[in-house]
Amino acid sequence: MRPSLALLAPTILAGIIACPIQAVEAGAGATVQPGVPGGTFVQTMQMSAEVLAIDAATRTLTVRSEGREAKVKVGPEAVNFPQIKVGDKIKISVVEEMVVAMADPVAPAKDGAAAAVALAPEGAKPGGVTVVSGRVTATVVAINEANRLATLAFPDGSKRAVKVRPDVDLKVRKVGEQVTITITEAMAISVEAQ
């Protein structure tokens, strides 16, 4: 595990908390049990970029994806950086899974984050896989039965109103209950010569 990624995991988790709320509302890739709050939500994305320029001294790539250019700094742990050439294609596959459930009041899950990184060995094609997983517990601070909304308060002090599915009976839910949100993101990166 790279220490820098481990330090970033809580920030990554906080940053993607809003994304799953949209997935819940959209219903895409969702597995739910009727009448039970929460469920499992999965989203898969594929991206690619072309390498336009390489600054070997600063280990910076200039890449273009969907008509937009960006500079990407590549850390020293990417031992195969010298193999990357202008014109190469960088392929990125991302799978995000979010599991939302009412917290067990007797044995609540602990919040936290973990990360793992596997890089291609020296001499192989550049690439690698990262997995970041984190769990956060939010508290229900308001329930609006008429509009089917629950307001959740997160440990950082932020609040978010979320839609509740029509099959969930809000009359049995209470302010003060806790919701556990676990997010796992796996990303695979490969470089293909052109």
pLDDT value, residue 3: 33
d(CA 26, CA 155): 25
Residues 6+ apart with CB under 8 A from 186: 94, 95, 129, 130, 131
pLDDT value, residue 130: 92
Pull the structure tokens for residue 104: 């067990």
Quick check: helix, strand or coil at residue 110? coil
Per DSSP, the residues of 158-186 read -EEEEE--TTS-GGG--TT-EEEEEEEEE
d(CA 153, CA 162): 11
Local mean pLDDT, 10-residue blocks, the chain (194 residues): 34 36 49 87 91 95 92 88 93 92 88 92 90 94 95 94 91 94 93 85
pLDDT value, residue 28: 56
pLDDT value, residue 21: 37
pLDDT value, residue 12: 36
